[in-house]
Chains A and B, each alone.
Chain A
């Protein structure tokens, strides 16, 4: 079962001060949920290991909150006595960089920073035994403090040996599992008992399946499987509630972008799938919008990491999408915190190459927003024209006063639609037709309104009404033009502004003429 082993800490370093472990365990995980992720990672590896040898469908990870403990259980390969015992030797890691998820080797001890005891119980398939390792973290950390006070030194592994106990018991031969109990979670980590938060974290970070209620789930998964060889996910439940990746509503069909290696174009270094928001603006809720990096299907960083690493311009457009970027090139490895990838030439190359994603998504977003704007202008045009049409038919008196604005509004409708008609997609015949109809009707209406103005000679033409002199008339037309330009996108405000302008003019100039 043990394929290769790798010592991360060399024998000499085993004589490190015991408190190193404290610093390591405490400092590595400012986010307490990361500790849970470490154990889910180990569980996931065991599950993948088991699945690679047996075609077994009922394999799952179970997380359970039973205050004051949290349990993480998997029915993957399980460990034999020797492998479990190696848990006591810091530096041991069965995991090889790039081959397994928990490559740090230190992950297994993550629990000692948040729980008083770490209890690992495991049984490998085919052995009628189970093994339990109890790691008394509280006692060990106390010991470390004592040693520190005395400025004493003790080899790390001797210290661990002293505070761990391995025992065995009988078990059914065909059972295979590992259960980790984080026993008595300490008071500064109580947030882990917040089930909603724990579920939220797991759903976003662990390799759980897509939600069966997400209509694009199957297409996305089929797409990923074509390019990502080691794509895998695991059934995971928290207190009997199945956990899935979060998804949003109103999304367009998923699309794929492959990120090729800059040198060898036949080699892919990452795969991105994305769905564009069908409606205007960002995908809601914001926390699930944007793209997230996935390394062995675990999240690396959050939706802001992709935004800052692959978007150079218009990064807000990232959130108009939802999606993931799967790392295929295993030379790009996440940091132990998994908030980014380890700095390396390969990583930088990857970030650069991944700009293909932002470039494409920006274009898509802009096109969509052009389309959306064109559609909006047609829609608004329909409303404006029909409202003016009613006024005209009713011989609305305001029409006489506001004739100029109405004309401006109609002209705007015609202008806006004609300018943006080209953005309406060919397939959208309905909108295209509507656009033509609106323009046609607007042109007809324009004539009617102009005629209405003419028929009410002097009445609506404020220049004449107020007997403005030629210079004043010039000021008037300039002001109106300025307002029109200013409010070009907003005929309603233009109408209001012009109305107020006319009222004030009437007030001022009628006094003058009196």
Chain B
């Protein structure tokens, strides 16, 4: 038997239950079956779990063995004709709009799930470009964006994350021009985020949320961020899962303003899935006021 490249876990399946709730809501709200762009892997558990809500799916897969297995499952489950497979690197495909073989993405999608999307750091320019391109191509259409990232455990704050944290800090300070005490508190809290000993998931939480929120707002979407979920995935690797609702705004030339403020976003609790249960983590980052 070949070593597995990827397999689902109980935790992952529990996270899926959370996503199912969001997808069902979209389906009810839009009163029609949805279109899906995802990376379902060979077992395509996401598509199988959500197939009743989906009309058409685009699957992206880079690995030929996984792609072969995916196609087998597509046919064995009678879904042939409903799923088209793009072959290659998701980032390149999002940027180009098609794969090397001229199989095209069919924008817009109602649900986009970029699963196992590496780690998020600004340094990875191509990844940023890919997400930007996705949001630009979705312009004018509401959609649910699900993102799962690996958390690379480090004992320090990555420089590119640090840059964004500084930006967030600056933005927060802007709200307290006269209030030195509050400013100090912000400095202290952001200092906690940047500290080497702070667990990476907290940094990732505000980094990921802030990154998608600001980028989508600049491109005409109002954004709602759901509390991110931390879990241990395949081979015990730590993961963080985000869900965003992007709502097409009023086409105003300036950026959209979402209902959630930057304070709301930073203060989002991290949820955790473990042993088949979902709960709000006991340990949370310090909250910012206002």
Chain A positions within 8 Å of B, measured between CB atoms, are 62, 64, 66-69, 71, 73, 75, 117, 119, 121, 132, 167-170, 175, 177, 179, 181, 183, 237, 239-241
Contacts and interface: CB of A to CB of B under 8 A. Distances in A.
Given A66-B71, A167-B2, A168-B1, A177 B76 contact: yes
Contacts of A117: 64
Interface size class of B (residues with CB under 8 A): 20 to 34
Question: What DSSP secondary structure best describes chain A's contact surface?
Answer: strand
B69 to A, nearest CB: 8
Given A175-B76, A183-B64, A241-B81, A64 B71 contact: yes
Contact of B80 (A68, A181, A239): A239
A169 B72 contact: no
A121 B68 contact: yes
A168 B1 CA distance: 5
A68 B85 CA distance: 10
Given A67-B103, A240-B81, A167 B1 contact: yes
9 contacts: A64-B74, A66-B84, A67-B103, A71-B71, A71-B75, A175-B76, A179-B75, A237-B81, A239-B80
B260 interface: no
B80 A62 contact: yes
Interface in B96-118: 101-103
B81 A181 contact: no
B253 to A, nearest CB: 40
B82 interface: yes
Contact of B87 (A68, A75, A119, A239): A68
B101 A68 contact: yes
A177 B80 CA distance: 15
Interface string B177-218: 000000000000000000000000000000000000000000
Question: What DSSP secondary structure best describes chain B's contact surface?
Answer: mixed
A58 B195 CA distance: 61
Nearest to B101: A67
B75 A64 contact: yes
B72 A73 contact: yes
A237 B68 contact: no
Interface in B1-39: 1-2
Please give me the 3 A-B residue pairs with the lowest Cβ-Cβ distance, nearest first. Answer: A240-B81, A67-B101, A73-B75
Nearest to A169: B1
Contacts of A67: 87, 101-103
Given A64-B75, A66-B85, A132-B68, 4 more contacts: A66-B71, A121-B69, A181-B71, A237-B80
Contacts of B87: 66-69
A69 B103 CA distance: 12
Contacts of B101: 67-68
Contacts of A239: 80-81
B81 A179 contact: no
Contacts of A62: 75, 80
A169 B2 contact: yes
A191 to B, nearest CB: 15
Contacts of B1: 167-170
Nearest to B102: A67
B32 to A, nearest CB: 20
A66 B61 CA distance: 12
Nearest to A130: B72
B68 A183 contact: yes
A71 B72 CA distance: 9
A64 B80 contact: yes
A223 B67 CA distance: 44
Contacts of B71: 64, 66, 69, 71, 179, 181
B2 A240 contact: no
A240 B103 contact: no
A64 B71 CA distance: 9
Contacts of B85: 66
B67 to A, nearest CB: 8
Central interface residue in B1, B80, B103, by most chain A CB within 10 Å: B80
B39 to A, nearest CB: 15
Contact of A240 (B67, B76, B80): B80
A230 to B, nearest CB: 27
A147 B214 CA distance: 60
B91 to A, nearest CB: 19
B82 A179 contact: no
Nearest to A64: B80
A119 B71 CA distance: 12
Contacts of B84: 66
A117 B65 CA distance: 11
Contacts of B2: 167, 169
Nearest to A119: B68
A132 B68 CA distance: 10
A61 to B, nearest CB: 10
A121 B72 CA distance: 8
B115 to A, nearest CB: 20
Central interface residue in B2, B69, B71, B85, by most chain A CB within 10 Å: B71
Nearest to B83: A66
A487 B140 CA distance: 73
Central interface residue in A73, A117, A167, by most chain B CB within 10 Å: A73
A369 B202 CA distance: 88
A234 to B, nearest CB: 15
Contacts of A168: 1
A183 B72 CA distance: 13
B103 to A, nearest CB: 5
Contacts of A71: 71, 75
A240 to B, nearest CB: 2
Contacts of B68: 119, 121, 132, 179, 181, 183
Contacts of B75: 62, 64, 71, 73, 179
Contacts of B103: 66-67
A71 B73 CA distance: 12
Contacts of B69: 121
A169 B102 CA distance: 32
Contacts of B82: 240
A184 to B, nearest CB: 8
